[in-house]
A and B are shown apart, each in its own frame.
Chain A
Amino acid sequence: MFVAIEDVSFSYPNTQAPALDRFTLDIKKGEVISILGRSGSGKSTILRLLAGLERPKNGRLVIQDETLFDDKTFLQPEKRGIGMVFQDYALFPHMTVGANIMFGLSGMKKADKKRRMREMLELVELEEYEKRYPHQLSGGQQQRVAIARAIAPNPHLILLDEPFSNLDAELQGKIRKDLREILKKANITSIFVTHDEKDAHILADRIVKLKDGKMDFVGRPCDMLDTFRQEAIAESEEVLKSKPVVQV
């Protein structure tokens, strides 16, 4: 397995209910995973735990045979080789687009950094924007810069937190397609979190559904449709049964 999440639990300070409860998931290389769930279901927590922004209570996290976390280990975020695209992109406002993308490149010659940065800009089709500042870009452009920045250092894994929530509907459709293309082109393992089933169906190889910090469903998008149909039928039957009672 490329990424292994084993038995991971986590709760936020000053709260009772665990945000994540004994969660386990294996991910293959190159796979695109979508985590679906309502807000508060613990879906963003998984990303933050993988990234090293939070420390799990117990369990194990492994990427490509390297342990990120277990009883004895806690690897700092900067050592994990994981890229992340934040919900609000978090592009450094004091740096140009080019500087943002080059920020994560280290141990390279300056010229190599520049080359890599231009490659990335080409990938996200923003070649002319190298010298611009983030606030001079549209929402969609900002998002593409954020993706380019996350991919540039060649991470093992890229995490995307609600990548489409700040975009208007028309843009969402286009970007979704672009994103899938970019991810597949770069052959990067990725996990993205969303509350929108449509996103998940179009983008993901596999969908994980979370409810109250526990895994509710895992499988291919088409499997999920079946489960949903059954659930929906069950729900409507219940409604039908209860209807007369309501009327009385």
Chain B
Amino acid sequence: MQRRLANFNIWTVGAVVIIMMLFLPNLTIVTGLFTPSNDNWEHMKEFVLQQFVINSLILTLATATATILIGLSLAWLIAQYDFPFRRFLKWALILPLSIPPFIGAYTYHGILNFTGAVQTTLRDGFGMELDPAYFDIMNLPGAIFIYTMFLYPYVYTITQVYLSEQSASLIESTRLLGKGPWRTFFQVVLPISRISIIAGASLVVLEVLNDYGVVKYYGIQTFTTAIFQSWFGLGDLDTSIKLAASLMGFVIIILLIEKLLRGRRQYSYFSTKVRPLQLISLSGWKGFAAAGYGMLILSLGFFIPVIQLIDWTVLTFGTIPMEEFMRYVQNSVFVAALSATLIVVFALIVGNFARMVQGKYTKLLPKLTVLGYSIPGAVIAVAVVTAFVALDGYLAPLYLAIGLETTLVLSVSIVLLLSAYIIRFFAIGYNSIETGYDKIGTNFRDASRLLGAGPTKTFFKVDVPMMKGAIISGFILVFIDVLKEIPLTLILRPFNFDTLSTKAFQYASDEKIMEASQASLLIVGISALAIVIFYKILEKEMD
């Protein structure tokens, strides 16, 4: 408390206001925990909940493990070794993030099912009729595969940046101590990358927990299924909010574990010098093996689905109306860019606050803001609509005073959708920004203050320029996520507002996956472009 007083200023006020704004809608969900349980809740508990929870646990744990294995091994290869295609792979390996998992799920099923490319080729080309069960991807392992392939970049990017920038002396000294590459990996790389691995993997876990598209299509019943079953099926939103609140509790536990595991980390630049790791050149078959591994993952996570989408686009071209596509692109880019900007700005303010305060509990406050990320979008939508309708209620006299005929203004405007995005994706942006703040530590800020610069000047002249990498990466990650987002966009958009993802979903939900390919391809293309631009900027920064 004392320390906070020492730094009390407009920034603190701003941060607290933002935290409250982000948290209040979630409060509607938290209160759900305390509503009395009804028959439906009891029914769920008796018949399905146990299996659902087990499925969810398997799904999240297996996906987390797989994404860590793939993400870390790729990060390690790229950070430590030189091999053919390394420069290309370094950024291309982020590309799978541009494919929404539900589209990936549809696409892979499309490739592998009875009428898909694989079975058709085997059947017609080679006369082979294999047991279709071999190609069945619509099961738990299949879903784990889908999530892993399209989410591993979260672990990869964070870990790779960390290893390249931070680990040089540790890794080099290990090598000098005569440890081979495998022992270096397991005894040094793995433990020292712990923090970035956990940061990446917790994003993956949250993403898997709140996703509904993949598991619904693949017929896997998870905790999210229970939430929607009680809402859509039983028309019992109370029970579904109660379930969502339980999920939130689980997520809070994950966040606490993450905090504990991070422990008393010190990962600020110790000196102003960041020494890059010297690359070891892999020659001969080793080089090809490394390149092959990277290419394999990239193909599974990007090229194969994209080629299938292109194929479908060609197949169905002209069968669906496309005059409006330019507008969908504009709408998509507009909401994605705007919400990403807002999130980055808010995250900078909250992150600044987080490193200023010292109290044990105040430190946890900013963590509350990431809760939105764990909740299925549709449930957040309800919370946000409720909050905005209430807000409009308060503002109604004002609306009438300025001559509007309606009392629902904000709740039918794009502000509603943007707020929902911010609540939902704040975690993604905040994660990047927080890592950025961690990296620069507080000394530069203190130095600036002592040189006579106030908090605001310090923020713009010292913090922001030093965190450009974190700011850009936070922006891009949110941008891509909003571009892919579906339940919130679908339900909270204003009248006549279509985006690429609502369009893709419209066809996909109707089992017209081929017709969905054009909008999907545009989402992938724009996201991929964003990743390339992001990478180019970062590369320039490094020079």
Task: State the A residues within 8 Å of B (CB).
Answer: 13-14, 51-55, 57, 74, 76-84, 86, 88-94, 103-104, 106, 134-135, 142, 149-150, 153, 166
Closest to B442 in A: A53
Contact B272 A89 (CB under 8 A): yes
Contact B444 A92 (CB under 8 A): yes
A76, B453: Cα distance in complex, Å: 10
Q: Which residues of A are found within 8 Å of B3, using beta-carbon distances?
A: 13, 54-55
Q: Which residues of A are found within 8 Å of B448, using beta-carbon distances?
A: 92, 103
Given the known A-B contacts A86-B446, A104-B451, are A13 and B462 also in contact in the complex, defined by CB atoms under 8 Å?
no
Q: Which 7 residue pairs of A and B lie closest in terms of their CB atoms, listed nearest first?
A: A104-B451, A55-B6, A90-B443, A77-B449, A90-B447, A134-B272, A135-B273
Decide if B403 is an interface residue (CB 8 Å cutoff).
no
Contact A92 B446 (CB under 8 A): no
Decide if B87 is an interface residue (CB 8 Å cutoff).
no
Contact of A84 among B358, B447, B454 (CB under 8 A): B447
Given the known A-B contacts A88-B270, A88-B271, are A103 and B6 also in contact in the complex, defined by CB atoms under 8 Å?
no
Closest to A133 in B: B272
Contact of B446 among A53, A74, A81, A94 (CB under 8 A): A53
Decide if B387 is an interface residue (CB 8 Å cutoff).
no
A227, B341: Cα distance in complex, Å: 63
What's the minimum C-beta distance from B438 to chain A, rounded to whole angstroms?
16
Decide if B452 is an interface residue (CB 8 Å cutoff).
yes
Q: Which residues of B are found within 8 Å of A93, using beta-carbon distances?
A: 269, 272, 466
A55, B356: Cα distance in complex, Å: 13
B192-206 contacts to A, CB under 8 A, are none
Q: Which residues of B are found within 8 Å of A142, using beta-carbon distances?
A: 272
Decide if B465 is an interface residue (CB 8 Å cutoff).
yes
Q: Which residues of B are found within 8 Å of A90, using beta-carbon distances?
A: 272, 443-444, 446-447
What's the minimum C-beta distance from A55 to chain B, rounded to whole angstroms?
4
Q: Which residues of B are found within 8 Å of A13, using beta-carbon distances?
A: 2-3, 358-360
A135, B271: Cα distance in complex, Å: 9
Q: Which residues of B are found within 8 Å of A92, using beta-carbon distances?
A: 444, 447-448, 462, 466
Given the known A-B contacts A13-B2, A13-B358, A92-B466, are A84 and B446 also in contact in the complex, defined by CB atoms under 8 Å?
yes
| Interface 1/0 per residue, B262-294 and A, CB below 8 Å | 000000011111100000000000000000000
Decide if B5 is an interface residue (CB 8 Å cutoff).
yes
19 A-B pairs with CB atoms under 8 Å apart are: A52-B6, A53-B446, A54-B3, A54-B6, A74-B6, A76-B454, A78-B449, A79-B452, A88-B443, A91-B272, A93-B269, A93-B272, A103-B448, A103-B451, A134-B273, A135-B273, A149-B451, A150-B450, A153-B452
Q: Which residues of A are found within 8 Å of B5, using beta-carbon distances?
A: 55, 74
B114-170 contacts to A, CB under 8 A, are none
Q: Which residues of B are found within 8 Å of A52, using beta-carbon distances?
A: 6, 449-450
Decide if B355 is an interface residue (CB 8 Å cutoff).
no
Decide if B461 is an interface residue (CB 8 Å cutoff).
yes
Contact B450 A77 (CB under 8 A): yes
- Greatest chain A CB density within 10 A among B446, B450, B466 is at B450
Contact A84 B444 (CB under 8 A): no
What's the minimum C-beta distance from B195 to chain A, rounded to whole angstroms?
20
| Interface 1/0 per residue, B362-397 and A, CB below 8 Å | 000000000000000000000000000000000000
A13, B358: Cα distance in complex, Å: 7
| Interface 1/0 per residue, B314-353 and A, CB below 8 Å | 0000000000000000000000000000000000000000
A150, B3: Cα distance in complex, Å: 24
What's the minimum C-beta distance from A142 to chain B, rounded to whole angstroms?
7
Contact B2 A78 (CB under 8 A): no
Contact of A77 among B359, B446, B462 (CB under 8 A): B446
What's the minimum C-beta distance from A46 to chain B, rounded to whole angstroms?
15
Closest to B1 in A: A13
Given the known A-B contacts A13-B358, A135-B274, are A76 and B444 also in contact in the complex, defined by CB atoms under 8 Å?
no
What's the minimum C-beta distance from B51 to chain A, rounded to whole angstroms?
43
What's the minimum C-beta distance from A20 to chain B, rounded to whole angstroms?
13
What's the minimum C-beta distance from B393 to chain A, rounded to whole angstroms?
41
Q: Which residues of B are found within 8 Å of A54, using beta-carbon distances?
A: 3, 6
A51, B442: Cα distance in complex, Å: 14
A93, B443: Cα distance in complex, Å: 12
Closest to A102 in B: B451
Contact A78 B443 (CB under 8 A): no
What's the minimum C-beta distance from A193 to chain B, rounded to whole angstroms?
15
What's the minimum C-beta distance from B115 to chain A, rounded to whole angstroms?
56
Contact A78 B453 (CB under 8 A): yes
What's the minimum C-beta distance from B68 to chain A, rounded to whole angstroms?
31
Contact B452 A78 (CB under 8 A): yes
Contact B450 A55 (CB under 8 A): no
Q: Which residues of B are found within 8 Å of A103, using beta-carbon distances?
A: 448, 451, 453, 461
| Interface 1/0 per residue, B1-25 and A, CB below 8 Å | 0110110000000000000000000
Q: Which residues of A are found within 8 Å of B269, using beta-carbon distances?
A: 93
Closest to B453 in A: A78
Q: Which residues of A are found within 8 Å of B462, using beta-carbon distances?
A: 92
Contact B6 A78 (CB under 8 A): no
Q: Which residues of B are found within 8 Å of A91, using beta-carbon distances?
A: 272
Q: Which residues of A are found within 8 Å of B270, using beta-carbon distances?
A: 88
What's the minimum C-beta distance from A94 to chain B, rounded to whole angstroms?
5
A80, B451: Cα distance in complex, Å: 9
What's the minimum C-beta distance from A183 to chain B, rounded to whole angstroms?
17
What's the minimum C-beta distance from A91 to chain B, rounded to whole angstroms?
5
What's the minimum C-beta distance from A11 to chain B, rounded to whole angstroms?
9
Given the known A-B contacts A13-B2, A55-B2, A55-B6, are A84 and B466 also in contact in the complex, defined by CB atoms under 8 Å?
no
A81, B269: Cα distance in complex, Å: 27
What's the minimum C-beta distance from B452 to chain A, rounded to whole angstroms?
5
